[in-house]
Amino acid sequence: MDHGHHHHDHAENGAHVIAPRSGTAFEMRAGQMLTVIDPDGGQVADLLAISKADIREMLSSGRTLDYAERIYITVGDKLYSNRSNVMLEIVEDDVGRHDFLLTPCSEATFRICYDNEPPHQGCFGNLAAALKPYGVEEDAIPIAFNCFMNVPVDGETGKFKVLPPLSKAGDRIVFRAEMDLIIGLTACSAPASNGGTFKPIHYEVA
């Protein structure tokens, strides 16, 4: 399957379309805005940011959560790199519940978590394919910022559930780029994360 062509498809509103269970990559300049839209509601989008200047610098869940002092990241929060530089800042957020704990679903996810699902390369495989032209190796891919993913955590036991997203049709989250970036973005492939149905994701860069 050709993962390079998805970002040429356009929605009616001029947004780019990521087909269900696929992914794309594109570049953004510092100061540009990235809007990730859930057109149908209840769909996760895994987001990766990589420094254009040095692809070894990329999004860090651990540093972002450490500096935010909370696991649910929303408006006003900054997404940091493994070098503690700000990559993106969230400037708008209709949903307020996203996940930055769980790794992009992969072929192994389907093997380990889903007995009855046919195997799929998942967001991990889709991100790896989309980012390969930029020189990003599979093993370098970190935890993505999982837009709209709903992972409530029990405060006592630390046990979490993966529940359907709280996003409704047309809900969006908007990021401002704080450096020149390569972005990887998917429409997630894991059944539990998306309420059991696979839907597209729309995005705009302005």
**Residue 54 scores a pLDDT above 80:** yes
At 79, list the tokens. 């997404």
Instruction: Count Cβ atoms within 10 A of the Cβ of residue 121 and give its class: 0-12 exposed, 13-18 middle, 19 or more buried.
Output: buried
CB atoms within 10 A of CB 165: 27
Residue 118 pLDDT:
87
Task: Output the average pLDDT for the chain.
Answer: 94
188 contacts 45 by C-beta, under 8 angstroms: yes
Cα gap 105→21, rounded to integer Å: 11
List pLDDT tens digits, range 172-182.
Answer: 999 999 999 99
Distant-in-sequence, close-in-space partners of 107: CB < 8 Å, separation ≥ 6: 119, 120, 121, 122, 124, 125
Q: Higher model confidence: residue 2 or residue 138?
A: 138
- How much is the average pLDDT of 3-26? 78
**Residue 58 scores a pLDDT above 60:** yes
Cα gap 78→95, rounded to integer Å: 17
**Residue 2 scores a pLDDT above 70:** no
**Residue 31 scores a pLDDT above 70:** yes
From the CA atom positions of the chain, what is the Rg in Å?
Answer: 15
What pTM does this model have?
0.93
> What is the residue whose two structure tokens read 């700000």?
86
Residue 7 pLDDT:
44
> In the 8-state DSSP scheme, what is residue 10?
B
| Torsion over CA: 140, 176, 78, 54 (sign) | positive
Question: For residue 9, what pLDDT band results from cuts at 50, 70 and 90?
Answer: low
List pLDDT tens digits, range 130-147.
Answer: 999 999 999 999 999 999
**Residue 8 scores a pLDDT above 60:** no
Determine the 3-state secondary structure of 186 from DSSP.
strand
> In the 8-state DSSP scheme, what is residue 125?
H
Residue 119 pLDDT:
86
**Residue 93 scores a pLDDT above 60:** yes
Cα gap 80→60, rounded to integer Å: 6
141 contacts 48 by C-beta, under 8 angstroms: yes
**Residue 65 scores a pLDDT above 80:** yes
Q: Higher model confidence: residue 8 or residue 126?
A: 126
SS3 content of the chain, % helix, strand, coil (to 5): 20, 30, 50
